[in-house]
Structure 1
Amino acid sequence: MTEIDRPEPSGHETLYGSDALAEMLRSLGVPFVALNPGSSFRGLHDSLVNHLGNRDPQILLCLHEEHAVAIAHGWAKVTGKPLAVILHANVGLMHAAMALYNAWCDRVPMLVLGATGPVDAAKRRPWIDWLHTSRDQGAIVRPYVKWDDQPASLEASLSAMMRAARITATAPMAPTYVCFDVTVQEAPLDAMPVLPAPDRHAPARFPEVAAADVATLLDMLRAAERPVFLMGRMSREQADWDRRVALAEHFGARVVTDIKTAAAFPPQHPLHAGVPGYFPSPGAKQAMEEADLIVSFDFVDPAGTMGPGDRKVALVSLDPLLQNGWSLDHQALPPSDLNLLADPDAVVAALCASAGVGAPEATIPAPDRSPDPAPDRPIPIPALADALADAAGEDVTWLRVPLSWDGAKCGWRGPMDYLGYDGGAGIASGPGMSVGAALALNGSGRLPLAVLGDGDFVMGATAIWTAARHDVPLLIVVANNRSYFNDEVHQERVARDRGRPVANKHVGQAIADPDIDIAALARAQGAVGLGPAMTAGEVPALLADAVAQARAGCVVVADIRVASGYSEEMSEGMTEG
């Protein structure tokens, strides 16, 4: 990436307000800034190129504002750190709104910058500046960003950037948004102002977990005969992973995880209850029904997951600090006998230290293989999972899996093995998030592998152009059932409930006639496009080729035609009610 978009030296002498904004962005340490160009921040764009030389940060040109946010989202899922995004005025912010909602629901950090036409109406160009100016631009996304500001001066703008960077990186994390006036960007300066110093604005630190709280939770665990841990939004650190496993082994606690969040505990561990899913599996439900204590470690929707029952409940999460009256992503209110406003991994570490918990001991087996599929038929999802595991080998980060994924195939053995879904269930997020995660993994030796649905991929396909342009290795496998199948399941449920023909469920859902050439769509973005593999017999050779080219440094998209179907609990969870 070092040779891409390296500008000619400018030799400029006059300084502008946007030069100071660019210097501030550099001082915050963000390596990249994802953007789709726009006139409202033309001054800042010029400063990134001609004042900073397009390095530290380097521009990631995106073909849509939604992709820019999704790329920063994927980066944060790997690193836990914010990337910078710049959005063009109100129009770009509206384009990006869905991706920002995903990032909010997924609790990831992101430094989002925007711009508005001149607030002073006398300075607006006819027509276009009026269209790109709004009275309170942050109102568009305020319910699902952590903090926003529209400063009116350069000094206030620099201070707002510092504040936004610190707020977004403080748990519980979520995007922040700062909107710059065009006039502030384009005003000449006599000298570079003094910038707020990051080392004089220390990140906020939470207090240590209280010993009394640790003692109370330990007493509850020691008294429990059938404890269950719900492991949710946890860190990507190996030491934290090892402590979580060791703590469960020490107390003999059953563990429930899901596919919505990143890997937090090995699903093949003997203590894992059922299999991960978007909704609880029968094994997970049984463990929770039999539990006399449930401890939720920042689990998404603990109330809906636990269901009713007479047992003690302990909640460990910082999430209440973000809950508001507009977004209902906080889910139903769970009951609790102990409610700790604390980082879940910090509590796990404190419990392990206090109880003398050592290293994990269990051997983690690989997932069982499915029966060999019929070679002349589209491949079922469980068999695709087996074929991918065979082809990909070791050191793989599964960036994403589709709604139809079989939880029994989740063979995660470490915190970087799986990164989870998108937070807000917003279709079109998969390609951009995959690019951002692959960028963060570049040079790590791990293969970034995303399995996306065809609807998700087609909506966001142009995001992969950014990966191709910057030579970021990535493998996307499209599990292509040629349908918005999730909605077919809903239409089937409605038809059955109303006594109407189930055979019509595909109408207005099937992505066919004409068929979409997904491999050609990938090639149009500069990626390697392979397939379609129409039958299970064609899949192994195609995947071997795809993995080899991705490991060699290419962006690869493989089109695999899969058999349609969901697990019973997935179908029930999506449609009941």
Structure 2
Amino acid sequence: MYTTSTAFLEALQEAGVSYIFANLGSDHPAIIESLAHAKKENKKVPQLITCPHEFVAMSAAHGYAQLTGKPQVVMVHVECGTQNIGGGIHNAFKGRVPVLVFAGASPYTQENELTGSRNEFIHWIQDVFDQRGIMRGYSKYDNEIRTGKNVKQLVFRALQFAKSEPKGPVYLMGPREAMEEETEKVTLDPKLWEPISPAAIPPQEIRSLVDDLVKAKNPLIVTSYLGRNPEAVGELEKLCNRLAIPVLESVPHTMNFPTDNPMHIGYQWNVPNQNELLAEADFVLVLDSDVPWIPTKNKASDDATIYYIDVDPIKEEMPLWYIPSKRFFKADSQIALQQIYQYLGKKKIVNDAVEARWNRIKAVHDRQKEERRLLEEPSEDVITPEFLTACVREVIDEDTIVLNEGISSYQAICTHIGPKKPGTMHGSGSGSLGWNGGAAIGAKLANPDKTVVSLTGDGSYLFSNPSVVHWMAKRYDTPFLTVIYNNSGWKSPKLSTLGVHPNGIANEINHFGVDFDPPADLAKIAEAAGGAYAQTIKNPAELRDALNYGMNLVKEGRTVVLDVHIPHV
């Protein structure tokens, strides 16, 4: 039989989907049957990856799409499985990562009127009024498959939404009867369902932007995720080298600018300090950033001229957001940078002023480099996040894919890894913790020839469902190195409390409710679930040897978890 499920799987294959990260249930018999039929007939369909937890499935699809730009499929069980991806769908939606989520739905007949009719008690329990509503605030598009006659059109349309900027997750659901329906084969041309073309700055607006940029004495560029498109990094570097424009990375979740370029002036996170170059800037160009600064702690001058370029420059899904700017452009940053550079050719540039600014910014860059080096000095007693990250940097190469979910160590990881090559560092792009584990599996599936390193806090490690992650890593041969920045608790809520109540009772009696004492043996979880090599490191003198040994094991094909104890929360 050629069913809706058969057509659905065909559509995914034709659309270029490689993997289905699945947590199967009673709503998927037709899918399971179609997958088995494809296997028996040696018919090519996306590979099924069994995921014993939906959040890990979502994070794996996220990681794969993040590195390749190609959306993968997450398959979950009715409304229960849909709700279980909650944190993961938040990450993909806020991080603008394309993923297609498919869920079954309880049968809509109960007396065997159609194939797939209700035959288990759970079909009544899992029947809800608005299953799609669960996803509506976190997906670009949602729909229900009601027949096999247009299932391919629905899949192609959903993926067209997912891949169009701003990218993001989409949701389809299909009841058992619809997915079991016998139907006829439909052939579509995927080339007719491409995402929308990237946008540019209106040509008449380029002149005013470049005029303001050229006359500025202290221009600055702020970015957070320009490097989602690796080719945009080169365009940014070309512009900054030409005009000596410093680049500040604010809460970056990709590698956006080479840290060895003299115009790179560091990273900012939640620290309560005013960035001097941001305060001095008379012109600020924000490229691809949701939070370029936090006004209560650190912001641009009220006199600065600000331009905003982003695929979503007014943050349509953020109820409270405003940064007054002279212009907001909904444009692709790579194209916008090309437009700016091309127009620069028509302008007279005072090279002496550019050279003077270059030398001044380079001095800042060099000073920061020396400050970083001093922070990386080892201690006899404790392993600091800065020293730990520097030791990790020593064992990776320029092509290693580094995933950062260090949270309270996030800025230290960015700063002391110091990525130089586009596509080599990634964060989740949002705030639901635990992304690191599944994302490492997705990253390794997307880049089997590269080394994947996950740097995570102990809290975000526990959130990742590590038993599921490491079982999957073993089964699907996706070895990676995890380094846990273990401060024995959630430091971030403590810092948040101190930020509002620095002299409060919680600080006075040191009661924040965030410690993990007595500590769990975190590395052993991975060893038990997936046969990973596990080691706990508390002595700074043991760290380098442990990292070197662990990295060699990963390159030989074994997953490794190093639980490194840093100062207590």
Which TM-score band (shorter chain)? 0.7 to 0.9
- Going from structure 1 to structure 2, the CA distance change for 1:501 and 1:289 (only over 3 Å counts) comes to closer
Q: What amino acid is aligned across from residue 249 of structure 1 in structure 2?
A: N
Q: What amino acid is aligned across from residue 278 of structure 1 in structure 2?
A: W
Work out which of the residue numbers 438, 462, 475 in structure 1 matches 2:481: 475
How is 1:138-217 mapped onto 2 (pairs within 5 angstroms)? Answer: 138-189=132-183, 192-217=184-209
- Going from structure 1 to structure 2, the CA distance change for 1:178 and 1:499 (only over 3 Å counts) comes to closer
Q: How far, CA to CA, are the matches of 2:523 and 2:301 in structure 1?
A: 47
Q: Which residue of 1 aligns with 2:447?
A: 441
Most deviating of 468-477 and 306-315:
306-315
Q: Which residue of 1 aligns with 2:289?
A: 299
Are 2:244 and 1:252 aligned?
A: yes
Asked if the contact 1:487/1:509 (under 8 Å) is kept, the reply is yes
Work out which of the residue numbers 393, 405, 415 in structure 2 matches 1:408: 415
TM-aligned CA deviation for residue 372 of structure 1 = 3.5
TM-aligned CA deviation for residue 503 of structure 1 = 4.3
- Going from structure 1 to structure 2, the CA distance change for 1:235 and 1:42 (only over 3 Å counts) comes to farther
Q: What amino acid is aligned across from residue 373 of structure 1 in structure 2?
A: P
Are 2:225 and 1:233 aligned?
A: yes
Gap regions ≥5 residues in structure 2: 112-116, 347-354
How is 1:302-321 mapped onto 2 (pairs within 5 angstroms)? Answer: 302=292, 304=294, 306-307=299-300, 309-320=302-313
Work out which of the residue numbers 86, 89, 111 in structure 1 matches 2:75: 86
Deviations 1:35-65 (A, max 9, x none): 1111112211321232255853101111101
- Going from structure 1 to structure 2, the CA distance change for 1:500 and 1:301 (only over 3 Å counts) comes to closer
TM-aligned CA deviation for residue 353 of structure 1 = 2.8
Q: How far, CA to CA, are the matches of 1:338 and 1:545 in structure 2?
A: 52
Are 2:567 and 1:563 aligned?
A: yes
Q: How far, CA to CA, are the matches of 1:542 and 1:196 in structure 2?
A: 53
Q: Which residue of 1 aligns with 2:267?
A: 276
Q: Which residue of 2 aligns with 1:24?
A: 11
Are 2:105 and 1:116 aligned?
A: yes
Aligned residues: 535
Cα root mean square deviation, aligned: 2.6
- Going from structure 1 to structure 2, the CA distance change for 1:161 and 1:348 (only over 3 Å counts) comes to same
Deviations 1:317-368 (A, max 9, x none): 12158723xx54xx521111111111112101222233249xxx99998763
Asked if the contact 1:228/1:256 (under 8 Å) is kept, the reply is yes
Q: What amino acid is aligned across from residue 418 of structure 2 in structure 1?
A: G
After TM superposition, what 4+ stretches of structure 1 lie above 6 angstroms from structure 2? 361-366
Q: How far, CA to CA, are the matches of 2:197 and 2:495 in structure 1?
A: 46
- Going from structure 1 to structure 2, the CA distance change for 1:321 and 1:520 (only over 3 Å counts) comes to same
- Going from structure 1 to structure 2, the CA distance change for 1:353 and 1:175 (only over 3 Å counts) comes to same
Q: What amino acid is aligned across from residue 193 of structure 1 in structure 2?
A: K
Q: How far, CA to CA, are the matches of 2:471 and 2:425 in structure 1?
A: 23
% identical equivalent positions: 23
Asked if the contact 2:250/2:269 (under 8 Å) is kept, the reply is yes
Are 2:257 and 1:265 aligned?
A: yes
Work out which of the residue numbers 507, 514, 532 in structure 2 matches 1:509: 514
- Going from structure 1 to structure 2, the CA distance change for 1:435 and 1:505 (only over 3 Å counts) comes to farther
Q: How far, CA to CA, are the matches of 2:463 and 2:43 in structure 1?
A: 30
Work out which of the residue numbers 503, 513, 520 in structure 1 matches 2:524: 520
Q: How far, CA to CA, are the matches of 1:459 and 1:302 in structure 2?
A: 27
Q: How far, CA to CA, are the matches of 1:384 and 1:303 in structure 2?
A: 27
TM-aligned CA deviation for residue 149 of structure 1 = 0.5
Q: What amino acid is aligned across from residue 123 of structure 2 in structure 1?
A: D
Q: How far, CA to CA, are the matches of 1:296 and 1:394 in structure 2?
A: 27
Work out which of the residue numbers 277, 280, 286 in structure 2 matches 1:287: 277
Q: What amino acid is aligned across from residue 477 of structure 2 in structure 1?
A: D
Asked if the contact 1:479/1:560 (under 8 Å) is kept, the reply is yes
Work out which of the residue numbers 312, 330, 338 in structure 2 matches 1:341: 330
Q: How far, CA to CA, are the matches of 2:45 and 2:2 in structure 1?
A: 19
Q: How far, CA to CA, are the matches of 1:238 and 1:175 in structure 2?
A: 21
Deviations 1:400-424 (A, max 9, x none): 14122425314111112211x2233
Are 2:98 and 1:106 aligned?
A: no
Q: Which residue of 2 aligns with 1:332?
A: 321
Q: What amino acid is aligned across from residue 286 of structure 1 in structure 2?
A: E
Asked if the contact 1:168/1:175 (under 8 Å) is kept, the reply is yes
Q: How far, CA to CA, are the matches of 1:525 and 1:289 in structure 2?
A: 50
Most deviating of 261-270 and 145-154:
261-270
Gap regions ≥5 residues in structure 1: 1-13, 566-577
Q: Which residue of 1 aligns with 2:553?
A: 549
Asked if the contact 1:151/1:157 (under 8 Å) is kept, the reply is yes
Q: What amino acid is aligned across from residue 292 of structure 2 in structure 1?
A: P
